[in-house]
Amino acid sequence: MSCKACLMSTNDGGGWFRRLFSRSKTVPLDPTRDDLVVVASSFDDAESCSAALDRGTDDGGFVATKEAVLRHHLVLPSDTVSDAAAIAAQDGYALVEPAATITIDDADRRLPVEDGVSVTLQRVQIVDALHCSQERSRMAGLAQRRGGIVLGWDALQPGADATERA
């Protein structure tokens, strides 16, 4: 199949020419919206991102083609938080203050972090299993190099009511 045929066969409602030369820009998801709900999450180190996202699709209303706010929940020594936030900011992450409150059933089996504080780092992106796994690994390295731990991650998207109104 020629390249021209590939372009012509991928019709998603708008022409390829319009998509290529359009001046309209999509507005990114605002992470401060009030109607964001958790649609997928994993706080189990052994669970794959693909399994968590599949569960979110089945149960939580996760839509893989829409942007989501991907949040990573960490516990870091208090003197390393600003450094970790600066490093994560290079990849588009923002420090959420105050950190999001989460409840984890198996919190007692995790190693304590001396002088540890809860930290939530988030950014807006399309979430798929590959990129979620990469970011999860990046956060594990970030936390480990600073003497902290990663509790888990979650993805937020507008709730069903907001989707119907839009």
Q: What is the pLDDT of residue 161?
A: 63
Q: Is the pLDDT of residue 9 over 50?
A: no
**pLDDT exceeds cutoff 70 at 155:** yes
Class of domain 26-165: alpha beta
In this structure, are residues 136 and 49 in contact, taking their beta carbons and an 8 Å threshold? yes
For residue 10, pLDDT beyond 80: no
Q: Tell me the β-bridge partners of 158.
A: 36
3-state helix, strand, coil in the chain (%, to 5): 40, 25, 35
pTM value is: 0.78
Q: Where are the domains of the chain?
A: 26-165
CA distances from 15 to 24, 106, 148 (A): 14, 50, 49
Q: pLDDT of 96-149, one tens digit each?
A: 987 777 666 655 556 688 888 999 999 999 999 999 999 999 999 999 999 999
- For range 62-85, the mean pLDDT: 96
pLDDT of residue 165 exceeding 50: no
Residue 19 CA, chain-centre distance (Å), reads 26
Quote the percentage of the chain above a pLDDT of 70.
76
pLDDT at position 8 over 70: no
Tell me, what's the pLDDT at 163?
A: 47
Is 11 or 142 the better-scoring residue by pLDDT?
A: 142
State the pLDDT at residue 16.
67
pLDDT value at 54 more than 50: yes
CB of 124 closer than 8 Å to CB of 28: yes
